[in-house]
Amino acid sequence: MEEQAYFYRDTWAEVDLDCIAENVSSVRKHLPEKVEIMAVVKANAYGHGDVQVAKTALSAGASLLAVAFMDEAVALRHKGIHAPILVLGASRPEDVQVAAKYNISLTVFQKDWLQQAQQHLASGDRVSLHIKVDTGMGRIGVRSRDELSSVEQFILKDERFHFEGIFTHFATADELDTRYFKQQLALFEELLKGLTKQPKYVHTSNSAAAIRFPHAYFNAVRLGITMYGLTPSLEMQKEIPFPLKEAFSLQTRLVHVKKVKKGDKVSYGATYESGSDEWIGTIPIGYADGWIRRLQGQEVLVDGKRSPIVGRICMDQCMVRLPAQLPVGTAVTLIGRQGQEFISINEIAGKLETINYEVPCIISNRVPRLYKKGGKIVDIKNDVLGKSQA
């Protein structure tokens, strides 16, 4: 298999970049032209691959990128991304010169931070800043008109600081009850009135708000989960006006197949006992890959059929009760489609009693990511995506 030339195990994730492009362009069509898309590619693009997703999103209609930490922004610069990047989380004031050097925009919300940052900037340096307003998320951000004003004035007085943006983040944009959302938006609009200067970018919306609330667009939206083809919450699944294409799938192969007799045990703790003579397959994925022990009992797809994981999940392997005797090397799909069957990320999230966001994020770096375009695995060595859009 040519796509396995870059790693030496039978477990990999496939990221379909056409799905990501389609999701971004669906959102692009949904938004007014003047509203820019900031593609949120933090956490290795929610586990999908930072640079590949960034390039795809930029080609499909995004014009800005956002990450959580400066390390992620610097990594993207080193991988050849020239598009504007905003760090959404807190950065350290002593690292401000790095942000200036790499042309990375930072999020600020404390006057003390700005004072300390001044000491780390040389006279010709210039760093772009977005003020974060905490309108009810309770995470980071200025919370009052006075706080906002003192941060803004401090920025405006030092020409090494460029006041590029202001933003807030909604805590409940994906819930059907919109009262708290409306409260946050009203507070943000009120605080905006206190600004001396309107910066270039004013942005509030995550995926859920970008789909549901045109009156909260301002001039950019921060698009994360929807770009990956996932719904921001189960509640709002019906409100999405275009199809979303799930980009991430997880694949492995049977590395061992055996017949066990009725009463034989499987895996640590010998907790699984076969109820009859059964075919048991072993797959090379375990909790160190993010396929955690809570997934015991979860079905996988083998030979187009749903087959349960039996016994405890080990660090690197787990076992599956097969529908029939199957050869070593048979493809097993843990997330994604096989024949008529589909295991969605939402199904795995349900089993884990968590949200879909968490699932691709926890599939560890030990699982290689392969990229698909036009239904084919992209040659990652020759990077057929090219650099023109970066």
Ligand X SMILES: Cc1ncc(COP(=O)(O)O)c(C=O)c1O
Q: Judged by CB, which is closer to ligand X: 199, or 232? A: 232
CA–CA separation, 283 and 252 (whole Å): 7
β-strands 161-168, 127-133: how paired?
parallel
Judge residue 189's burial from the number of C-beta atoms within 10 Å of its C-beta, 0-12 exposed, 13-18 middle, 19 or more buried.
middle
User: Tokens 């990229």, residue?
Assistant: 371
* Near ligand X in 352-371, by CB under 6 A: none
* Near ligand X in 153-172, by CB under 6 A: 169
* Near ligand X in 187-226, by CB under 6 A: 206-208, 222-226
Handedness of CA 29, 35, 36, 37 (dihedral sign): negative
Q: Judged by CB, which is closer to ligand X: 224, or 290? A: 224
Q: Judged by CB, which is closer to ligand X: 26, or 317? A: 26
Which position's Cβ is nearest ligand X?
224
Three-point CA angle 145, 148, 152, nearest 5°: 135
Torsion angle, alpha carbons of 266, 288, 41, 30, to 10: 10
Q: Judged by CB, which is closer to ligand X: 181, or 272? A: 181
Helix or strand (DSSP H, E) at 162: strand 161-168
Under rule CB under 6 A, residue 130 binds ligand X: no
Under rule CB under 6 A, residue 88 binds ligand X: yes
Which residues, at least 6 apart from 245, have a Cβ–Cβ distance to it below 8 Å? 16, 18, 19, 20, 22, 23, 229
Under rule CB under 6 A, residue 281 binds ligand X: no
Q: Measured from the CB of residue 137, what is the shortest distance to ligand X in angstroms?
A: 8
**Binding test (CB under 6 A) with ligand X, winner from 93, 232, 290, 336:** 232
Q: Judged by CB, which is closer to ligand X: 168, or 267? A: 168
Q: Measured from the CB of residue 135, what is the shortest distance to ligand X in angstroms?
A: 12
Q: Measured from the CB of residue 211, what is the shortest distance to ligand X in angstroms?
A: 9
Total residues binding ligand X (CB under 6 A): 12
Q: Judged by CB, which is closer to ligand X: 43, or 96? A: 43
Q: Judged by CB, which is closer to ligand X: 216, or 225? A: 225
* Near ligand X in 248-277, by CB under 6 A: none
Q: Which residues are catalytic?
A: 42, 268
Q: Measured from the CB of residue 27, what is the shortest distance to ligand X in angstroms?
A: 10
Three-point CA angle 132, 220, 56, nearest 5°: 115
Q: Measured from the CB of residue 139, what is the shortest distance to ligand X in angstroms?
A: 8
Please name which of 46, 52, 47, 96 lies closest in space to residue 74, comparing C-alpha atoms.
96
- Assess contact for 27 and 210: CB atoms under 8 A: yes
Give helix 179-192 / helix 145-157 axis angle, nearest 10°: 40
DSSP string, 38-104: EEE-HHHHHTT-HHHHHHHHHHHT--EEEESSHHHHHHHHHTT--S-EEE-S---GGGHHHHHHHTE
Q: Judged by CB, which is closer to ligand X: 240, or 380? A: 240
Q: Measured from the CB of residue 331, what is the shortest distance to ligand X in angstroms?
A: 30
Q: Measured from the CB of residue 274, what is the shortest distance to ligand X in angstroms?
A: 42
Facing residues of 106 across strands?
87, 129
CA–CA separation, 330 and 10 (whole Å): 10
Q: Measured from the CB of residue 317, what is the shortest distance to ligand X in angstroms?
A: 32
CA–CA separation, 185 and 139 (whole Å): 16
CA–CA separation, 363 and 283 (whole Å): 15
* Near ligand X in 21-40, by CB under 6 A: 40
The contact set with ligand X (CB under 6 A) reads: 40, 88, 169, 206-208, 222-226, 232
